[in-house]
Amino acid sequence: MSSSDTNRDSASRRDFLKATTVAAGAALVSNLVPAVHAAGSDQIKVGVIGCGGRGSGAADNVLHAAKNVSIVALGDVFKFQVDGLRNRLTNLGKSDAIKQKGNSVDVEGRCFVGLDAYKQVIDSGANYIILATTPGFRPIHLQAAVAAGKNIFTEKPVGVDGPGIRKVLEAAEEAQKKGLHIVAGTQRRHQRLYVETMKRIHDGAIGDIVAGRDYWMQGLLWQRISELPKHPEITTEVGKQIFNWYNHTWLCGDHIVEQHVHNIDVLNWAIGAHPESAVGMGFRTRTDPRFGHIYDFFAIDYKFPKDVHTLSMCRQISNCASEIGEYMVGTKGTCHTADRHTYLIDGKPLFTRKELKEQPDPYVQEHTDLIESIRSGKPINELKRVAESTLTAIMGRMSAYTGKQVSWEQALNSKEDTMPKDLTWDMQLSEAPVAIPGKTPLI
């Protein structure tokens, strides 16, 4: 082990303590022995469900996160994605950095393709499941992985609608009872300087938070319809929509849920609660059908307890003002956080450039923290928290799509199940219409 590894490991231990201190109360069930702490061995055997860019990233991250980690199974709806990740991992497994940690890749015979591939990965002997498919599938994947007693790294968001979030909250409770370890891919919660900034806020650095605002405003994101000719094997409508998933609400949740959930989560974190209701607006300026039916901008007024309001704006339109970040206004001062480079209280940087530069990669750190929680037998379970942040974003989308004020209960108890009923690869599936505020009903 190199000295930098030693530093990182001890640093991560400190961060883990900080993170759990912040999360204390809700998540820790210290008197339960984790049911799935691998008997006689603490080898982490990873099954990856969802082999696209992020699943591939998470697979790479987990191999760098701790010692004695092996990737044992892969699953995706598309064969080309499974093949791509298998090839990349096979090469990565040969690298010295991975070998030195005693980590490995052995997925031969355990690469699965199709809508049911997730079941096969869960049954493959893995004890650590990475969920990184398109978000629409997350609730059923979480249910299945928790039912099977697996530890889980789940990407955000964890659902795209109320019915999905209800499944996730049930799974969160079941996981808690089973003492499972779950970390979510809202990586700011594992980013050293975000954790440190939040600690200062919770210690009263800006007093009580009375207002907030947060942004994810960027340019146009992608569509993949123009790439379809490279994949003649994708012939069905379901296949095409999953391939172009970002642009379909049933798969993506719209960008307020898929992307902006990061910033929304930071404000929930800072305030220490989820909002009670939302009034929002949004629509789309794009007309190209390759971009499905999602909106390209949202502005949401969230009402938190004690009449604290936050303004949440997200946009994916090029040539417009762009910003990603969060602002907290307190009775004694203000805080501005953004991404990996901005942590200010009352306009003053909290950290030096050196400290910014030396922040560990939070995408690796989140796995380090999860594995440490597994090996120390102290369950960390972020599922309820990320479900609430996801539902916060969904509530905002529902308000924008319908034009109505939407309460937390309305969002949570919504009957709008966007997942096509009895989904099969070959089923008929029409394109959902673009929601029209004032006309689209609140269901």
Partner 1 sequence: MRRLIQFSVAAGVGVLMLALWRLGESPEGGPVRAEPPAMKHKSYKQTIPDTKTTFEMIAIPGGTYKMGSPAGEKDRKDDEGPQHPVAIRPFWMGKCEVTWDEFDLFWRAHPGQKEDKEPENPKNADAVTRPTPPYADETFKKGREGKPVLCITQHTAMQYCRWLSVKTGKIYRLPTEAEWEYACRAGTTTAYSFGDDPKKLGEYAWFADNADEKTHTVGTKKPNPWGLHDMYGNVCEWCLDHYDAKYYSRFPLDKPTLSPVLLPTEKRFPHVTRGGSWGDEAKDCRSAARLSSELDWMKQDPQRPRSIWWLTDADFVGFRVVRPVEEQDNLKGLRSKITRQSPVD
Residue ranges in 262-301 that form contacts with partner 1 under rule CB under 8 A: 290-291
Interface with partner 1, residue 83, by CB under 8 A? no
Q: Which residues pair with 334 in a beta bridge?
A: 329
Classified as helix, coil or strand, 415 is coil
Backbone phi, psi, residue 158, to 5°:
-100, 15
Task: Determine, following the binding rule CB under 8 A, whether residue 386 of this chain makes contact with partner 1.
Answer: no
Q: Does 340 contact partner 1 by CB under 8 A?
A: yes
Number of chain positions touching partner 1 (CB under 8 A): 40
109-117, 320-328, 378-386, 429-437 -> range binding partner 1 (CB under 8 A)? 320-328
Question: β-strands 209-218, 308-316: how paired?
Answer: parallel
CB 326 within 8 A of CB 263: yes
Q: Based on CB atoms, which residue is closest to partner 1, 58 or 169?
A: 58
27, 44, 50, 54: residue in contact with partner 1 (rule CB under 8 A): 54
**Computed over its alpha carbons, how large is the radius of gyration of the chain?**
21
Q: What letter represents residue 109's amino acid? A: G
Distance of CA 15 to the CA centre of its chain: 20
Residue 354, exposed/middle/buried by CB under 10 A (0-12, 13-18, 19+)?
exposed
Strands 297-304 and 308-316: antiparallel
Output 262 or 378, the one with its CB closest to partner 1: 262
Of 13, 18, 37, 88, the one binding partner 1 by CB under 8 A: 88
- Check residue 325 for interaction with partner 1 (CB under 8 A): yes
| Dist. CA 19–CA 9, nearest whole Å | 15
Closest Cα partner for 145 from 120, 163, 164?
120
Task: Decide: is 348 part of the binding site for partner 1 (CB under 8 A).
Answer: no
Site for partner 1 in 213-252 (CB under 8 A): 216-224, 226-227
Binding to partner 1 in span 177-196, by CB under 8 A = 187
Q: How far is the CB of 374 from partner 1 (least distance, A)?
A: 22
Binding footprint of partner 1 on the chain (CB under 8 A):
53-54, 56-60, 88, 187, 216-224, 226-227, 259, 290-291, 318-319, 322-325, 338-342, 349, 353, 357, 361-363
